[in-house]
Structure 1
Amino acid sequence: MKNLKSIAAGLCAALVMVGCNVSNTAKGTAIGAGGGAAVGAIIGKIAGNTAVGAAIGGVVGAGTGAIIGSKMDRAKKQAEAVKNAQVQTITDANGLEAIKVTFDSGILFATNKADLNAESKASLQQFATVLKDNNECDIAIFGHTDNTGSDAINNPLSKKRAQSVSSYLKSQGVSASQIKTVDGQGSTNPVADNATVEGRKQNRRVEVYMYASEQMIKEANAEAGK
């Protein structure tokens, strides 16, 4: 247990060190150097992103992390140009760089609805181009609600919102095989205080994760080994 705590503390420090003003390529190298799916799972848990990441097994080396980090740099820059999208670099369950794109449901949906409005469709049309241009990435889509109402309402509503986004992206040419997860998490993962109007608005959201597919990891491993 002591060793695990020491590892976790060291990884936390590493995440802080690589989190500021460093490209994904550099961060990918640092994370990849940590090695392996086990270490990646610890980092993913700290970052809260164990839900995303291809099931690969084995070790992810520094070279692989750098190659994937470079690809994610490019994807992030493209996603940042999408209207109404908030873009963050996160770490997936393999300890590799991934992209989290958040869309407010205040922009995407009317209250208690899962229907996309015209402005939302325009943003998602832009975003679909990013996903198609980065078709090596797998995609996970999660819907969220605030804590107004019961789980019996919020859980299916959050999933319907995720499904609306998924369906529209596919209508814009994103491959169904690229979208690996479409689910709702109800009000279980707030990002702001549900006691305030502004906080509840932030919690009503859809998150789209772009992360390295198994094929991307295999190709990066092969390239790193040359």
Structure 2
Amino acid sequence: MKIKALLLATLITIASVMPGCKNMTGTQKGAAIGAGSGAAIGALIGKAAGNTAIGALIGGAVGGVSGAYIGKYMDKQKKEIQETIPNAKVEEINNGEALKVTFESKVLFDVNKYDLKEASKSAIKQLSEILVKYPDTYVQIQGHTDNTGADEYNVTLSQKRAESVMSYATSLGVQANRMMAQGMGETKPVADNTTAAGRQENRRVEFYIVANDKLKQEAAKQQQKK
């Protein structure tokens, strides 16, 4: 009964917040949702998705004035990424308190390879420069594949691709202790694997950029000033 009650309360919170979020900036979205509900939503979404790492990221929402402060920090990064890197797809998550940056695998790697293509290194370099400019974040780098090939092979390939990206970003000045590489294999498709176009979309590398402890502490101080 407690779980059902929590789920009901969370759904009510989502319903009350989401209609007004469509055209909001990250700053506005961060302020729109309460701190407690952010954690509850994150826990439920993470459990439902079977992805504890992403659940933890979403569950880190702080909301209120603190969320608005973090959202503003993320807004600036989002704008720079969009203006600088044409091959990157940038999305707000975590009610504007985090960013998801996606590269199609073909942009970065040859088929069945995990060494970054020379022509693609500029995109990672540009993103790395922005990450260095905004140091108060953690970054999770996820590699994804389509469903062709054996499961074990896909997991290994996606892990090596994520590690290649992380290694190159580290060489460009992004602190290694800010980042984590994770190979997801074929477990999290975003499109239909029965079509060539869908499989291409599923072959991707994603960056999840979230507030670190320092940024959250600074945001909390801003909350106390209100």
Using structure 1 for the length normalisation, give the TM-score: 0.88
Matches within 5 A, 1:189-200: 189-200=188-199
Matches within 5 A, 1:9-158: 9-14=11-16, 16-32=18-34, 35=37, 37-42=39-44, 50-52=52-54, 53=56, 60-81=62-83, 82-91=85-94, 97-158=97-158
| Aligned CA distance change for structure 1 residues 90 and 56 (closer, same or farther; 3 Å) | closer
More helix by share: 2
Distance 2:45 2:28 in 1: 16
Distance 1:136 1:129 in 2: 14
Distance 2:159 2:131 in 1: 21
Percent of pairs with identical residues: 46
Distance 1:48 1:66 in 2: 28
Displacement of 1:61? 4.8
Secondary structure of the residue aligned to 1:148 is: coil
| Aligned CA distance change for structure 1 residues 61 and 101 (closer, same or farther; 3 Å) | closer
Q: Matched residue pairs, number?
A: 221
Using structure 2 for the length normalisation, give the TM-score: 0.88
Tell me the amino acid that sits aligned with residue 90 of structure 1. Answer: I
CA contact (8 A) 2:41 2:59 kept: no
| Aligned CA distance change for structure 1 residues 55 and 36 (closer, same or farther; 3 Å) | closer
Deviations 1:90-135 (A, max 9, x none): 11xxx66200000110111111110111221011111111101111
Secondary structure of the residue aligned to 1:225 is: helix
Which residue of structure 1 aligns with residue 216 of structure 2?
217
Distance 1:220 1:190 in 2: 34
Gaps of 5+ in 1: none
Tell me the amino acid that sits aligned with residue 209 of structure 2. Answer: M
Tell me the amino acid that sits aligned with residue 166 of structure 2. Answer: S
Tell me the amino acid that sits aligned with residue 108 of structure 1. Answer: L
Distance 1:61 1:191 in 2: 28
Displacement of 1:9? 2.0
Displacement of 1:31? 1.9
Displacement of 1:60? 3.2
Which residue of structure 2 aligns with residue 163 of structure 1?
163
Deviations 1:156-211 (A, max 9, x none): 000001001101111111111221x2110000000000000010000000000110
CA contact (8 A) 2:100 2:207 kept: yes
Gaps of 5+ in 2: none
Distance 1:119 1:13 in 2: 44
Distance 1:18 1:176 in 2: 38
Displacement of 1:84? 0.8
Tell me the amino acid that sits aligned with residue 86 of structure 1. Answer: K
Distance 2:8 2:193 in 1: 34
Distance 1:212 1:50 in 2: 17
CA contact (8 A) 1:40 1:96 kept: no
